[in-house]
Amino acid sequence: MKRVRSALSANGRAGWVFYRVVRLTIRTVLYRYLRVNIIGRENLDVATPAIIAPTHRSNLDGPLFGAAPDWLCRSLAKESLFKNPALGWAIAALGSFPVKRGSADREAMRTAEDLLAKGERVLVFPEGTRQTGNDVPEIFDGTAFMAARAGATIVPVGIAGTERAMPPGGKFPSRSTVTIVVGTPMAPPTADGRVKRKDVSAYTAEIHAALQEVMDTAVADVSSRS
């Protein structure tokens, strides 16, 4: 656990100051540039532990949502980003911890569950990697399984407009219109002892439906403002 714990420390007060400066910059500069509209902001005041579950269309999704609440949201970031000490420190200060891409990183999953057990909020993209289009594809059971084990509330979030603003391969966002829809928090399935596969599969289907609903709302809002 040493690798992950060191990444989460964020160098104390310096890391906290850095996080607040970045959050303020995103809110005052990037939000205006991308004409960001947040619907359902009241749902950000969710009881903990909580899993924040956004749709994923661009590398802008994490930073844009991360600046929305007044609390720090933990998130998973690919391990390679932490190889550069300065970049790794900055990412950790923003709440991220490393996960190995293309493999089951049990260490990262355990860390996420530990954070949930401590009453924190963890951002997880149920779709896994970035997708394209407005339809939410089949999602992995991992989000539902983690919620059941930790007794964590899930908050579905639809983000539209970021794919156009900065598609895969893009390095700088183009001026666009973005909407973030924070859906109604979902209570986790009751796990009496062992988490049953059928319960996880059923809950995954509910998460999928909720994600499609908030995504549709976000797409409609972007369309109306563009």
- Whole-angstrom Cα distance, residue 12 to residue 176? 36
Is the pLDDT reported for residue 5 higher than 50? no
Q: For residue 7, give the nearest of 65, 61, 70, 87 by alpha carbon.
A: 87
- Whole-angstrom Cα distance, residue 116 to residue 42? 21
Residues in the chain: 226
Give a three-class secondary structure readout of 137-172.
CCCCCHHHHHHHHHCCEEEEEEEECHHHHCCCCCCC
Pairing mode, if any, of strands 121-123 and 179-182?
unpaired
Helix, strand, coil share of the chain (percent; to 5): 45, 15, 40
Contact between 33 and 162 under an 8 Å Cβ cutoff? The reply is: no
pLDDT at 3: 41
Looking at per-residue confidence, does 156 or 46 come out higher?
Answer: 156
Spell out the domains of the chain, with CATH numbers in brackets: 2-225 (3.40.1130.10)
* Chain center to CA of 15: 20
Looking at per-residue confidence, does 201 or 219 come out higher?
Answer: 219
- Whole-angstrom Cα distance, residue 64 to residue 161? 11
pLDDT at 10: 46
Q: In the structure encoding, which two tokens stand for residue 83, read together? A: 């190889």
What does the longest C-alpha to C-alpha distance in the chain come to? 50
- Whole-angstrom Cα distance, residue 163 to residue 13? 34
pLDDT at 76: 78
Beta-carbon contacts of 197 under 8 Å, excluding residues fewer than 6 positions away, are none
Looking at per-residue confidence, does 150 or 36 come out higher?
Answer: 36
Reported confidence tier of residue 30, pLDDT bands at 50, 70, 90: very high
- Whole-angstrom Cα distance, residue 56 to residue 63? 12
Average pLDDT estimate for 167-189: 92
Q: What is the pTM of this model?
A: 0.88
